[in-house]
């Protein structure tokens, strides 16, 4: 339970970071010069990497539930 909550918090923070930095980059809202654009881009990229690892962990930790739900879903009636 505790590890799931912590993982959910990490995924929320990384997801929001990716969304905000993506919007900032797309609408050219970056203040400053190329250094600031580089930093925003790196934050966007690495928060995406961390989020991808978190999603993989989330799926692995819940694999038994996923298998059970899939069996129930595809079970012949």
Asked if residue 23 is part of any domain, the answer here is yes
Asked if residue 40 is part of any domain, the answer here is yes
Asked if residue 46 is part of any domain, the answer here is yes
Q: Which residue range forms the structural domain that includes residue 61?
A: 2-65
Asked if residue 76 is part of any domain, the answer here is no
Instruction: Give the separation between CA 20 and CA 30, rounded to whole angstroms.
Output: 11
Q: What is the pTM of this model?
A: 0.84
Instruction: Give the separation between CA 18 and CA 5, rounded to whole angstroms.
Output: 20
| Residue-by-residue pLDDT tens, the chain, 77 positions | 688 899 999 999 999 999 999 999 999 998 888 999 999 999 999 999 999 999 999 999 999 999 999 999 998 66
> What is the rounded radius of gyration, in angstroms, for the C-alpha atoms of the chain?
18
* Total residues belonging to the chain: 77
- What does the pLDDT look like over 23-41, one tens digit per residue? 999 999 988 889 999 999 9
Task: Tell me the torsion sign for CA atoms 65, 7, 30, 38.
Answer: negative
Using an 8 Å Cβ cutoff, are 40 and 21 in contact? yes
The total of structural domains in the chain comes to 1
């Amino acid at each position: 339970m505790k590890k799931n909550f912590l993982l959910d918090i990490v995924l929320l923070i990384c997801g929001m970071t990716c969304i905000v930095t993506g919007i900032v980059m797309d609408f050219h809202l970056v203040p400053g010069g190329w250094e600031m654009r580089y930093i925003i881009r790196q934050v966007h990229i690495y928060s995406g990497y961390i989020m991808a690892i978190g999603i993989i962990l989330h799926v692995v930790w819940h694999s038994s539930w996923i298998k059970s739900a899939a069996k129930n879903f595809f079970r012949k009636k």
